[in-house]
Each structure stands twice: as structure tokens, then as C-alpha cells.
Chain A
Amino acid sequence: MAKLKAEVDRRMCLACGGCISVCPQDALSMHGGKAFVTEEKCISCEICIRICPVGAINWRSNR
């Protein structure tokens, strides 16, 4: 089974850029004023999820 990837909840993201600055894979960037995870680059390290001050990043739910 493929590892889960991080996903930003655009409704909660306040665009502080913290997750972008710590991502070891450069998988995060700002798109339309909110942080965005490039899924192919994400290595599921969880750093962005843990450091988000408002809890706006979670594991992507399998839909």
C-alpha cells in the first residue's frame, strides 16, 4: 500500500510559509495564497504536519 501524503486544508491555512521553509524535499509551495503539497515530491516525513501552528496539514484521506 502506498504511503499517505500530506495535504493542506486550504480553508485553515493562514499562509505563514513555515511548512515551505522546513520541507526537506521542497515539496511545498504557495499556490493562490495557500500552501500546497506536490504529492509526487512528498516523502511522508510528517514535519509539515507537526509544525503547522493551526493544524491545517493532515494526511491525505483516501477517497
Chain B
Amino acid sequence: MKYDVVVVGSGPAGSVTARFAAKAGAKVLIIERRQEVGVPVLCGEGVSRKIDAWGMLEGKRWIASSMDGARIYSPDGTMVKLSAELAGNETGYVLYRDIFDQELARQAVKAGAKIMTNTDAIGLLKDKNKIRGVKTKQFDDEFEIDADVVVGADGVESKVGKLAGINTTLKPKDLETCCQYTLTNIECKDAYCDFYLGTKTAPGGYIWVFPKGKDTANVGIGILASLSKAGLAKKLLDKFISKDPRLKNGHPLRFIAGAVPVANPVETVRDNLILVGDAARHVDPITGGGLTHCLEGGKIAGETIGKAVEKQKFDKETLSAYETSWKEAFGKKLKRNYMVKEIMLGFDDKTFNMLADSLKNYKFEELSTLSLLKALVLKHPTLLMKLRPLMKVSSEL
């Protein structure tokens, strides 16, 4: 089998890459290890409203609910409310990720790509050191797929990158280990995404409640893997649910686990190879959100590959247009937020409480870095010390 492009993984980044490469005329195959695109879901299912402007998805079936805003709770329960406009950057919709992924895969096929399910990439085909395709396995059959470009869209595991010689192994301090119930028979009074912070609640991460309707929500936790012990994420989540009056009578419709890279992005281009999405570590290190980068980065990757196929040039230099463009689109944000993550990890509960107390009556409409810092520091002058490294980061970038 010979294709211009073989995409390993049918998640959002893989499907969007495949779609725009196919649209540009490339012969594209997506291989998917699982038997069904989008299943099992491995995600909190919150996404920014930014995706509306890109118009990549038809219909509304992939939306479970639209959010009016977000609330962040500090360890002592102080609440900071973010309006839809502000919170919408991260939490605009709660999704049905399986339907979302299948809609993006459908669009890829509509553009001309093919999909093979139950097909696992078990190695890269190489001539000397030149990548020329992937070795795959479908049930008991092993076969080779030749391709000029291999796209690693294989998520947090990022094995394709590893096989190509890129060090994609994550340090535990750069991984959020997560689990989540979809609970029903609970009370969601309003369409707000709730976030709970605290070193005891969720060390190095947070607990979230994302409503999917009046009586159902995704209730999940992410903790930093370097602060984790065996099964700790589930234990902390169960404890939280049992103590929350809204949630304690809930029953699970689903229980899932997840792993979210909160690392600096890796090298994403080699000769004949591109990494996208979680495999490229295109995740916001503060929020753990990655879907917008999958769509934005996937489009750039697909278009870059389209041009490469046109020119029949697949070397690193040609494909580097992708890396340059994603860095321009969201690379700076990822780099800055990684530094902010590192600084915030040093915050104790008292600092988070002071931050929340300073911000609880802050009118976020007037959001500017200076007025925000003023509000923070006026009420709790000791925050100045804690926030100094953050100011340094914001002045550098």
C-alpha cells in the first residue's frame, strides 16, 4: 500500500491534519488502533468557543451543553467568578467527545482521506535512516504502508515520535494523571464550569465539574504525576464527591482515566515526519486544554503537507513551515504558560486563598495585567513576593 500521507491516530489532531492534507490533493490514510473512532473517551470534554470561528464541525450533536461562565474555588472555598466572555476561552462548551471526534473524522473522509480501524502502528519503515512509512498490525496480520509523510497523532503515548528518535518521554512533573466520572442524579443549578484548587484537594492540579445538563456532569480530577501515589487521583475524587451535597447522591454513567501532558512542546518535524496534538505536547500547561491546538495545529500541518506533496519535497526544511506557523499561532502561549505552571506549583494553599480573596470582587471586564496585579497586591501585599516571578515572565514575553 502506498499513500502520500499516513496519519497514526484518529483523534482531533489526526483527523484535522488528514482533512486539510486531503483537501490539498494528497492521498491520505488514517490508521486507528481502536475499533471505534473517539471511543473510549479520554477527556474532560470542555472546549473553548474559539472553535466556532474555525467552522470545522457541522451540526450541534457534539455539544452536550453551552456554558455561561466558570467559577474557581480556592482551598478555603473563596469563589472567583469568570464571565462567559472570559471563561469562554477555555470553557465554552461541554462536549460529547466521541461524537466530536467522529464528526472530525467524517469531515476528513469527506475531504478524501481513508480510515482503517483496529490497525496498530508497530514500527516505522526506514531505508537506512529515511522514514518511508509505517509497519502495522491488524489482528494477526502484519503489513507495511508506504508513505512520504508519517504523522504522529498518537496522543500522550507519542510512540511514533519516539520511534523517529524524538525524546517524547515525559517527566512525571510534566504529566497530569486524571480520572473522571460522568455522574447523573446530581444537581447542576446553572451552566457554570467549576474548578476546585488545593494541595489537599488535587495536588498540582484541580477537580472539575462540567455540567452536561441539569442532572448530569463530568466530575473529574487531574493531579501532577510527580505528586501522585498509586490510585491517589481516584481516591481524592471519590472523597470530594462523597463530601459534596450536590454530587454525593450521583450515580456513574461512566468512569474513565486520562493522562495530559503539561510539558514544553517537543521538536515536531523531522524528514518525512510530523507530530501533532498531544503527541507534540500541544497542551496548555495551566489548564490542560488541548483541543483548540489540535484543530489549529492540525490545519497548519495538513496544509503544510499538502504543499509538500505538490512540490514532492518531504525533508525537514520543507515541513518546518508547520513548526514555524504553530509557534506563531500558539507556541508563545504554551511556553509562557509552562513557566507560569512551574511558578504556580510553588504556591501553597494560603497563597491561593489570598489570590482568590483579592480577586473575588474584581470586575474581570476591566482585565489588564496592571489592574489585575494592583487588585491582587493591594489587598494582600505579601502576594507581591509570590507574584514577582510571574511579572518577570510576563515582561519577558
Chain A residues in the interface with B (C-beta under 8 A):
14-18, 20-24, 26, 29-30, 33, 47, 49-55, 57-58
Give Cα A33–Cα B221 distance, bound, in whole angstroms. Answer: 23
Q: Chain B contacts of A52 at CB under 8 A?
A: 177, 230-231
Is the beta-carbon distance between B175 and A53 smaller than 8 angstroms?
no
Tell me if B's interface is mostly helix, strand, loop or mixed.
mixed
B154: nearest chain-A partner, CB-CB: A17
Which single member of A15, A20, A26, A51 contacts B177 (CB below 8 Å)?
Answer: A51
Q: A31 CB to closest chain B CB, in angstroms?
A: 9
Q: Does B341 sit at the interface, judged by CB under 8 A? A: no
Is the beta-carbon distance between B230 and A49 smaller than 8 angstroms?
yes
Is the beta-carbon distance between A17 and B225 smaller than 8 angstroms?
no
Q: A60 CB to closest chain B CB, in angstroms?
A: 14
- With contact pairs A22-B225, A24-B169 given, residues A17 and B234 touching in the complex (Cβ less than 8 Å): no
Give Cα A47–Cα B226 distance, bound, in whole angstroms. Answer: 9
Number of chain B interface residues as a range: 35 or more
Task: Of the listed stretches B190-198, B252-260, B348-356, name the one at the interface; the rest are far from the partner chain.
Answer: B252-260
Chain B residues in the interface with A (C-beta under 8 A):
33-34, 40, 42, 120, 155-159, 162, 168-172, 175, 177-179, 221, 223, 225, 228-234, 255-259, 261
Is the beta-carbon distance between B231 and A22 smaller than 8 angstroms?
no
Give Cα A60–Cα B42 distance, bound, in whole angstroms. Answer: 27
Is the beta-carbon distance between A14 and B257 smaller than 8 angstroms?
yes
Interface centre among A16, A21, A29 (most CB of B within 10 A): A21
- With contact pairs A17-B155, A17-B157 given, residues A53 and B228 touching in the complex (Cβ less than 8 Å): yes
Is the beta-carbon distance between A53 and B178 smaller than 8 angstroms?
yes
Q: A16-B258, A20-B157, A57-B230 are in contact. List 15 more A-B contacts (CB 8 A).
A: A14-B256, A14-B257, A15-B257, A30-B157, A50-B225, A51-B172, A51-B177, A51-B228, A53-B177, A53-B178, A53-B232, A53-B257, A53-B258, A55-B230, A58-B230
Is the beta-carbon distance between A21 and B261 smaller than 8 angstroms?
yes
Is the beta-carbon distance between A16 and B259 smaller than 8 angstroms?
yes
Give Cα A52–Cα B221 distance, bound, in whole angstroms. Answer: 13
Is the beta-carbon distance between B157 and A26 smaller than 8 angstroms?
no
24 A-B pairs (CB sep. < 8 Å): A15-B42, A16-B156, A16-B177, A16-B178, A17-B156, A17-B259, A18-B225, A21-B156, A21-B168, A22-B169, A22-B172, A23-B169, A24-B169, A29-B159, A30-B120, A30-B157, A47-B172, A51-B172, A51-B175, A51-B228, A52-B230, A53-B179, A53-B223, A53-B258
Which single member of A16, A22, A58 contacts B257 (CB below 8 Å)?
Answer: A16
Q: A43 CB to closest chain B CB, in angstroms?
A: 13
- With contact pairs A21-B169, A22-B225, A30-B33 given, residues A14 and B179 touching in the complex (Cβ less than 8 Å): yes
Q: Chain A contacts of B229 at CB under 8 A?
A: 50
Is the beta-carbon distance between A51 and B179 smaller than 8 angstroms?
no
B34: nearest chain-A partner, CB-CB: A33
Q: Chain A contacts of B172 at CB under 8 A?
A: 22, 47, 50-51
Q: A49 CB to closest chain B CB, in angstroms?
A: 5
Which single member of A21, A24, A30, A54 contacts B231 (CB below 8 Å)?
Answer: A54
- With contact pairs A15-B40, A33-B34 given, residues A55 and B231 touching in the complex (Cβ less than 8 Å): yes
Q: Chain B contacts of A47 at CB under 8 A?
A: 172
Is the beta-carbon distance between B231 and A53 smaller than 8 angstroms?
yes
Give Cα A30–Cα B34 distance, bound, in whole angstroms. Answer: 11
Which single member of A15, A26, A30 contacts B162 (CB below 8 Å)?
Answer: A26
Is the beta-carbon distance between A21 and B157 smaller than 8 angstroms?
yes
Give Cα A33–Cα B118 distance, bound, in whole angstroms. Answer: 10
Q: A63 CB to closest chain B CB, in angstroms?
A: 20
Which single member of B156, B168, B230, B256 contacts A18 (CB below 8 Å)?
Answer: B156
Q: B351 CB to closest chain A CB, in angstroms?
A: 26
Give Cα A26–Cα B161 distance, bound, in whole angstroms. Answer: 12
- With contact pairs A18-B259, A21-B261 given, residues A54 and B156 touching in the complex (Cβ less than 8 Å): no
Give Cα A18–Cα B170 distance, bound, in whole angstroms. Answer: 9
Q: Chain B contacts of A17 at CB under 8 A?
A: 42, 155-157, 259
- With contact pairs A21-B259, A22-B175, A33-B34 given, residues A54 and B157 touching in the complex (Cβ less than 8 Å): no
Is the beta-carbon distance between A22 and B171 smaller than 8 angstroms?
yes
Give Cα A43–Cα B172 distance, bound, in whole angstroms. Answer: 16
Q: B152 CB to closest chain A CB, in angstroms?
A: 13
